[in-house]
């Protein structure tokens, strides 16, 4: 049995996205070509990899097993190639480093500054990537390392991903200087139940977490603004229009804003994530050490 690595990649992407059309969109192919190549892969293996449920394909246990083994094989090959490159050239070339918005000025840019001084032949490309897109970005090869948030939802527990702790980032309530809660040393969400709120968009880390915690505190937040930019959210608070919750990394000193610790909300854990096959690369280790220094 001879397996084609390219068709194995198609199967990997199918397992992640769930439909032939989504695979075709991501890889810039036609759905018919994707279907044809997956059928060829099934023929190559001699095993039934898919079941049809209505008009939808789903992986059989054999298909799931092949995806797992294909990822292990890809990671192993990546590791061999990377280790050979490191032995022959050392830390040189381009590394793509991704991170969420507030990590860019506080962790990523200081990391690039450190590396420019210590490893001038290493070029680092920075990408802003939301935490919930981190694993996808790594699997797609859009970045080599990701600074992301461990949301404790199991996303980062995949065997294909290795994580390294970097820092703890407390979540803070941000309120206008004239709000009654600004006089408190610590704020409970219930203290803000009657206030207008500014939130991140649904589907983002804080856009989901904050409303859920408000519900647990017994109220529905009155949302008067949604901002993907934390600076825009802070500006809304400074103008007295809303209150909000932001990670400490994102809270820059700003006139008119008071930031306080929140009761009952856990700190978020910031980690570096890398595909397991790349974790032993000397170049990756060099970047990780610079990330740790910047995070400290």
Say which CATH number the domain at 30 has: 1.10.10.10
Structure confidence at residue 89 (pLDDT): 57
Number of structural domains found in the chain: 3
Answer whether residue 125 is part of any domain: yes
Residue 217's pLDDT band, with cuts at 50, 70 and 90, is: very high
- The verdict on 186 and 208 lying in the same domain is yes
In angstroms, how far is the first alpha carbon of the chain from the final one? 50
Taking the complete model, does pTM exceed 0.85, yes or no? no
- The verdict on 197 and 240 lying in the same domain is yes
- The verdict on 248 and 291 lying in the same domain is no
Which of 235, 228, 187, 234 has the alpha carbon at shortest distance from 207?
228
- What is the 8-class DSSP label of residue 267? P
Considering only 69-73, 229-233, 257-261, which range has the smallest mean pLDDT? 69-73
Structure confidence at residue 84 (pLDDT): 65
The Cβ-side half-sphere exposure at 254, using a 13 Å CA radius, reads 21
Structure confidence at residue 185 (pLDDT): 94
Considering only 79-83, 142-146, 164-168, 185-189, which range has the smallest mean pLDDT? 79-83
Structural domain span for residue 209: 171-265
CB 147 within 8 A of CB 166: yes
Answer whether residue 178 is part of any domain: yes
Per-residue pLDDT averaged across 20-46, rounded? 86
Answer whether residue 78 is part of any domain: no
What is the spatial distance between Cα 5 and Cα 73, in angstroms, rounded to a whole number? 9
User: Buried (b) or exposed (e) across 49-73, using 16+ Cβ within 10 A?
Assistant: bbeeeeeebebeeebeebbeebbee
- The verdict on 249 and 260 lying in the same domain is yes
- The verdict on 226 and 237 lying in the same domain is yes
- What is the 8-class DSSP label of residue 217? T
Q: Is the pLDDT assigned to residue 34 strictly greater than 70?
A: yes
Strands of the sheet with 257-261, listed across from one edge = 244-247, 171-176, 257-261
Answer whether residue 84 is part of any domain: no
CB 205 within 8 A of CB 134: no
Answer whether residue 83 is part of any domain: no
- The verdict on 108 and 150 lying in the same domain is yes
- The verdict on 250 and 179 lying in the same domain is yes
- The verdict on 107 and 158 lying in the same domain is yes
Tell me which H or E stretch contains 211: helix 205-216
Answer whether residue 76 is part of any domain: no
- The verdict on 100 and 147 lying in the same domain is yes
- The verdict on 214 and 100 lying in the same domain is no
Structure confidence at residue 79 (pLDDT): 63
Q: Is the pLDDT assigned to residue 171 strictly greater than 90?
A: yes
SS (H, E, C) 109-137: HHHHHHHHHHCCCEEEEEEECCHHHHHHH
Collapsing DSSP to helix, strand or coil, 193 comes out as coil
Tracing tokens 């980690």 back to the chain, one arrives at 271
Answer whether residue 81 is part of any domain: no
- The verdict on 21 and 97 lying in the same domain is no
The Cβ-side half-sphere exposure at 9, using a 13 Å CA radius, reads 11
228 backbone dihedrals φ, ψ, rounded to 5°: -80, -20
Per residue in 173-209, pLDDT (tens digit) is 999 999 999 999 999 999 999 999 999 999 888 898 8
Answer whether residue 82 is part of any domain: no
Q: What is the CATH number of the domain that holds 122?
A: 3.40.190.10
- The verdict on 175 and 258 lying in the same domain is yes
Q: Mean pLDDT over all residues of the chain?
A: 87
Structure confidence at residue 127 (pLDDT): 94
Pull the structure tokens for residue 162. Answer: 């290795």
What is the spatial distance between Cα 14 and Cα 18, in angstroms, rounded to a whole number? 5
∠ CA 170-172-177 to the nearest 5 degrees? 150
């Amino acid at each position: 049995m001879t397996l084609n690595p390219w068709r194995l990649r198609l199967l990997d992407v199918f397992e992640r996205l769930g439909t032939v059309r989504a695979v075709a969109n991501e890889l810039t192919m036609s759905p018919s070509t994707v279907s044809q190549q997956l059928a060829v892969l099934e023929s190559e293996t001699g095993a039934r990899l898919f079941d049809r449920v209505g008009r939808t394909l789903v992986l059989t246990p054999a298909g799931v097993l092949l995806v797992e083994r294909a990822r292990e094989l890809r990671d192993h090959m990546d590791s061999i190639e990377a280790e050979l490159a490191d032995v022959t050239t050392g830390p040189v070339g381009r590394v793509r480093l991704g991170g969420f918005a507030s990590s860019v000025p506080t962790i990523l840019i200081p990391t690039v500054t450190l590396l420019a001084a210590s490893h001038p032949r290493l070029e680092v490309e920075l990408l802003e990537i939301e935490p919930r897109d981190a694993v996808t970005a790594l699997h797609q090869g859009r970045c080599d390392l990701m600074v992301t948030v461990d949301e404790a939802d199991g996303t980062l527990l995949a065997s294909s991903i290795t994580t390294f702790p970097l820092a703890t980032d407390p979540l803070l309530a941000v309120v206008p200087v004239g709000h009654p809660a600004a006089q408190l040393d610590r704020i409970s969400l219930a203290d803000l139940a009657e206030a207008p709120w500014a939130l991140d968009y649904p589907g983002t880390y804080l856009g989901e977490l904050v409303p859920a915690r408000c519900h647990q505190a017994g109220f529905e937040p009155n949302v008067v603004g949604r901002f993907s930019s934390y600076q825009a959210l802070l500006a809304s608070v400074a103008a007295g229009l809303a209150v909000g919750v932001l990670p400490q990394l994102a809270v820059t000193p700003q006139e008119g804003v008071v930031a306080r610790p929140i009761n009952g909300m856990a700190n978020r854990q910031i980690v570096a994530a890398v595909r397991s096959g790349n974790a032993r690369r000397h170049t990756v280790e060099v970047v990780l050490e610079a990330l740790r220094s910047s995070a400290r």
